[in-house]
Amino acid sequence: MVIVIARVTCQPGKRAALLEAARPVIEATRQEPGCISYAAHADSMDETRVLFCEEYASEAACMAHMAQPYTQALIAAAPQFVAAPPSIIMHTISASKALL
């Protein structure tokens, strides 16, 4: 399994626009083979922060997602919304265990 965490700092007043631009990408990604989950979370304590959390069955599924035209279009549009380059980290998980 692969987990991708993208931390984004938006320009002041641009978070809602980023989330609206991301909505069709999230919806399409959820239909991709190998996508387990994909969600965007607005930080309740900081109006400029968004956290994207993605889970894929494999690194190949993640890379296929990154190559999609809608993903590339969102990446290309990001500078109009973000204050700095996002932190995007891919974690490869060999095992998982439920905590509760």
Q: Exposure string (b/e) for 59-82, b if CB count within 10 Å is 16 or more?
A: eebbebbeeeeebeebeeebeebb
Output the pTM of the full model: 0.90
* Amino acid in position 66: M
Tens digits of pLDDT across the chain (100 residues):
999 999 999 999 999 999 999 999 999 999 999 999 999 999 999 999 999 999 999 999 999 999 999 999 999 999 999 999 999 999 999 888 888 8
What is residue 23's predicted lDDT score, i.e. its pLDDT?
Answer: 97
Q: What proportions of the chain, in percent to the nearest 5, are helix, strand and coil?
A: 35, 30, 30
**Which domains, from first to last, does the chain contain?**
2-92 (3.30.70.100)
What pLDDT is attached to residue 22?
A: 97
Spatial contact of 71 and 78, defined as CB atoms under 8 Å apart: no
In angstroms, the CA 42 to CA 91 distance is 21
